[in-house]
Each structure stands twice: as structure tokens, then as C-alpha cells.
Structure 1
Amino acid sequence: MSVFIASLNSGSNGNCYYIGNSGEAVLIDAGISCRETEKRMRRLGLSMDLIKAIFISHEHIDHVKGVEVLSKRYGLPVYITPATLNNSITKPPLQHVRAFVAHMPVPIGGLMVTAFPKWHDAADAHSFVVESSGVRIGVLTDIGAPCDHVAHYFGQCHAAFLETNYDDEMLANGRYPYHLKKRISGDKGHMSNAQALDLFRTHRPGHMSHLFLSHLSRDNNDPGVALEAFRPHAGDVHVTVASRYNETEVYEIGAAVARQHTSSRPVQASLFS
């Protein structure tokens, strides 16, 4: 069985990722408004009826902006840690709140969602791997430095949204004040193109077919720069950028597809009606 994935938005202005099979789906983070989430899913031919849960990585507004309205409107359970909930300025209704525990898979129909801790300047930050029928999709953004947990789970993925937040030279020579540059480049800030590339080269599994460069900074990175860093090392992995302005296509990821390293294939809307 294939897994269908899309980035609805990826960047400091909002993060939201769709991962599902033919029967159910989850959103990883809800950092754009409910209306914008609905609009982008309609454009992709994706049905909100398939969304069965939202998983929140941490409390920063670009990851939780739409969670309250989405959970209310669709009655969606929101999986979030107590520390993240307590520190979030936007909270889902309490009756929809569910807790998750690191490294313990949460079943959502035919999906299994596993959270794991990471280094980031938030109360209790986690990333996620979503599995369906042996196909694993990682959402690994907002990471200061790639710890052992990140390397371990990245090494399982058939496809991954991987943070490439900044280019070292662009950040160093850019307009940000020194203290902000230190925060971004620190171990609890964000991951650079070079750090992400090192993770990819060192821990990429042989069955990986797709990589989405994600959470790019508007001021300290450029899609062309990020892609150029990865292109000589990509092999037959399809590498693209998850935009901070628009949704991506829907990509179909399957075990057979991953083994063959075929190119991306947009999904027909009829699958999701």
C-alpha cells in the first residue's frame, strides 16, 4: 500500500504536512490557518474527511496557528505533550487533547505515528515518523543539531521532510543581529544546508526515494542554493524543496516505488474524494 504525502507549507511563516494512505491521514503540525489548510488541500484534491488526527511537534506559532480552529471544526484529536500544550498560546479544546510518549507508536487507523525528541529551543520538541504498511515518512524540521535520535529515525525513512533552514555564508553575511545568528546556528536552533547534507550522506537508507528540503529561511537561504548543495550527492533520490509560499504536489511513496527509485508521481484527486 502506498503512502500519499504533501507539504501544505514549510517555513517560519507556517508548517503543515499531510501524510496518509487511501483510508486515513494525519497532519503533522497545523501552522497555517484552518481556511488556508482547507484551501490548499482542495487544490491538491485531498479531502479533510480523511484527516483523523493532528500531531504537534512544539509550541512555536508557526506550528500551532491553526490547531484550535481545525480541531474544533472537524472534531480532530490533537496529539501534543503536556509541556508543549502548557507553553502554547493557541490551544485545542481540552476534549480533543491526547498525549503521546516518545518512541511509543500511536495507531491512527492503518497509520502508526512515532514521536522522538530532538534539540530545539522549545519546551518539549519532537519530530515524527509516520508508517503505513512498512513505508515510513519522516518529518524532521526545527532541529538545532542532528542528534542520535534524528539519525536513527532518518535512517528508516522511504521519504523525509528534512530541515535545511540556512546557508552558512548567507547567515553569516546577512542582516540578522549577532544574537539571532547565534540562536539560529546553535545546537537548539535550526539545521543548516551543510548539516542536513551530512546527515543525508551519512545516514540515508538505501530504500529512500524522496527528500524534501524543508523550513528554508526567507532571508538566510535560497531554494537554488539548497538544491545545488544536494544535487551532486542525491544519486537517484528525488530531491525537491518544500515551499514556504505554496503547497507541493501530492507524492505517492511505496515500498516498491522506493526500491525502484522512480520519480515522483502526482496523485489523482479521485483517490481522495
Structure 2
Amino acid sequence: MIKVCAIASGSNGNCYYIGTEKEAILVDAGISRRQIMKRMKELRLDISRVKAVFITHEHADHIRGLRVLCDVNGITGYLTRDTLQKAHRNYHPKSAHVFKAGESIKLGAFVIHSFKKQHDAIDPTSFRVEVNGLNVGVMTDIGEACNNLKKHLHACDIAFLESNYDEQLLEDGPYPYHLKQRVKSDKGHLSNKQAVELLEQMGTSNLHTVFLSHISADNNRVEIAMKAFEHLTDKYKILPTNRYAPSEIVTIGEEQLALFND
């Protein structure tokens, strides 16, 4: 059995859980250890199963809780060398494993495929996590859906896909001009429209569940994002994420896993 959920998703903190009955990994630790522990307890997820935290980039909303979580719970943080060096030293865990974007890392039942993405960070990385035949993508903070991202998304069964902003809300919203331009740039974030177009262009694939992720508090609304994807619900299960609470857990049982491995 495999469980997948967002512990937190948004500009105030991101953390994504992928786990079997015996072991688990997190992607990002952008909220405090206390909040991660609290939310995992609410979901009846055991922190002792978490063997590693994979960090996408050095921005605080993705790495803020890494050091304390890893040091207190005996977990290893996985980062690229540039990300580790760029990150504030308060975020450096005692146990850190350095990898290069593009590497695939074997960890127990997991194979974590890393690949570069477009974002305004020093060495931003996305992940496709393969476990017992299931593929889960964590694809947020993306300025542009490049061909590499499309290739990995096509291989996914479940994806955390960025749906950061509504174009009109951003245009009419409180952000200054330079920040609006940064959000919309090819090193910024994906809009609802861009994320919808990405799925519309997918064609035949294994993808069946999409978590709408990193939804902006100022420039988007959950109901607006969900409405944008409404016409795709006959093809995909579309689920929202939340910055203040964990998402729904998607559970894949043994019978379903057997189908993935046929």
C-alpha cells in the first residue's frame, strides 16, 4: 500500500509525503518540524518511516524546517551542492547528501528521479518518485513547462502540479509591477491556464490523479483553480492542496499496484 499527500502547499510552506507501509520520503520541508509532526499525526502517518527529505530549491518556503526535522529525527536531507551552499546555514542539516540534478537515487523501495526545472533559484530541481511501480511527480515552482518536465509528467500516475495564479487576479491584485512580472516569467510560476494547457496536451498517459499545488493566497482561489480544471475531471481526479492543512490522502492498494506492474 502506498500513501501520497501534501502536508502543506503554498508560498508559506511546502511539504509532500510519499510512503509505503514500511518507509517514506518527504519532498521539501518548508514548514516547521512541529507543524510537520502535527499534520502527520492528524493523518496517522508515522514520522519514523521517513528516511529522507528531498529539497527542490533553497527558498525558505521549501527548506525552512529541514535542519530541525532532520537533526531531531535522524533523517538525511538530499540537496544539490549549489542549493546547499546557497541555503541559509540555519537550514543545513547535520546529515546532508549532495546529488546532481539529473541523477536517479535508489533509497530502499524508492527510486527518486531528479531533473532541472525553470525557476528563479540557484539550482532548482523537480522530482519523479518511483516506488513499487507507481510514479509520483512533484512539479511546483515552475516558470515554464519544458520538454523535460513534460516527459516526466507523462510517466507519472499521480502528480503535484503547480496551479499558482489566476491571470486576472494577478493583474488586478496588490503585487507591485516587478513582482507580477517575476510571477509570470519563465522563471516564476505556472498559472491555472498554463497548468490546464499542460494537461490538455498530455495525450495518453498513466496519469490519473492531479493535486493542484502551490495555490497563491493573493492571486488565486481554490474554487477558481478547481473550476479551471473542471472539464478535465472525466479524465483525471483533481484534488486541491492547502497551505494551512494537509490534503486528502490518496491510497493505492496492492491490487492497484499489481495493475501498474503488469
Q: TM-score, normalised by structure 2?
A: 0.94
User: Does structure 1 conserve the Cα–Cα contact (< 8 Å) formed by 2:81 and 2:100?
Assistant: no
Residue 268 (structure 1) aligns with: none
Q: Secondary structure at the match of 1:154?
A: helix
Q: Aligned pairs, how many?
A: 258
Residue 236 (structure 2) aligns with: 237
Cα gap change, 1:254 to 1:143, in 2 (>3 Å) = farther
One-letter code of the match for 1:13?
A: N
Residue 125 (structure 1) aligns with: 124
Gaps in structure 2 of 5+ consecutive residues: none
- Alignment partners' CA distance in 2, 1:170 and 1:46: 36
User: Does structure 2 conserve the Cα–Cα contact (< 8 Å) formed by 1:8 and 1:37?
Assistant: yes
- Alignment partners' CA distance in 2, 1:155 and 1:204: 9
Cα gap change, 1:204 to 1:253, in 2 (>3 Å) = farther
Mapped pair 1:91 → 2:95:
no
- Alignment partners' CA distance in 2, 1:180 and 1:161: 24
Residue 165 (structure 2) aligns with: 166
* Identical columns (%): 41
Cα gap change, 1:209 to 1:227, in 2 (>3 Å) = same
Residue 81 (structure 2) aligns with: 82
Q: CA deviation at 1:115?
A: 0.8
One-letter code of the match for 2:91?
A: K
Residue 114 (structure 2) aligns with: 115
Which residues of 2 match residues 169-188 of structure 1 at below 5 A?
169-188=168-187
Cα gap change, 1:169 to 1:246, in 2 (>3 Å) = same
One-letter code of the match for 1:91?
A: Y
Residue 269 (structure 1) aligns with: none
Residue 103 (structure 1) aligns with: 102
User: Does structure 1 conserve the Cα–Cα contact (< 8 Å) formed by 2:241 and 2:247?
Assistant: yes
Residue 134 (structure 2) aligns with: 135
One-letter code of the match for 1:93?
A: P
Q: CA deviation at 1:107?
A: 1.3
User: Does structure 1 conserve the Cα–Cα contact (< 8 Å) formed by 2:27 and 2:54?
Assistant: yes
- Alignment partners' CA distance in 2, 1:255 and 1:147: 33
Q: CA deviation at 1:3?
A: 2.2
Q: CA deviation at 1:259?
A: 10
Cα gap change, 1:204 to 1:27, in 2 (>3 Å) = farther
- Alignment partners' CA distance in 2, 1:179 and 1:17: 30
Residue 196 (structure 2) aligns with: 197
- Alignment partners' CA distance in 2, 1:102 and 1:221: 30
1:172-200 per-position Cα deviation (integer Å, ceiling 9, x unaligned): 11111110000000000011001111111
Gaps in structure 1 of 5+ consecutive residues: 261-273
One-letter code of the match for 1:192?
A: S
Which residues of 2 match residues 253-272 of structure 1 at below 5 A?
253=252, 257=256
User: Does structure 2 conserve the Cα–Cα contact (< 8 Å) formed by 1:11 and 1:217?
Assistant: yes
User: Does structure 1 conserve the Cα–Cα contact (< 8 Å) formed by 2:166 and 2:219?
Assistant: yes
Q: CA deviation at 1:256?
A: 5.6
Cα gap change, 1:131 to 1:4, in 2 (>3 Å) = same
Q: Secondary structure at the match of 1:162?
A: strand
Cα gap change, 1:53 to 1:135, in 2 (>3 Å) = same
- Alignment partners' CA distance in 2, 1:144 and 1:15: 17
- Alignment partners' CA distance in 1, 2:241 and 2:205: 22
One-letter code of the match for 1:108?
A: L
- Alignment partners' CA distance in 1, 2:227 and 2:213: 14
Q: CA RMSD in A?
A: 1.7
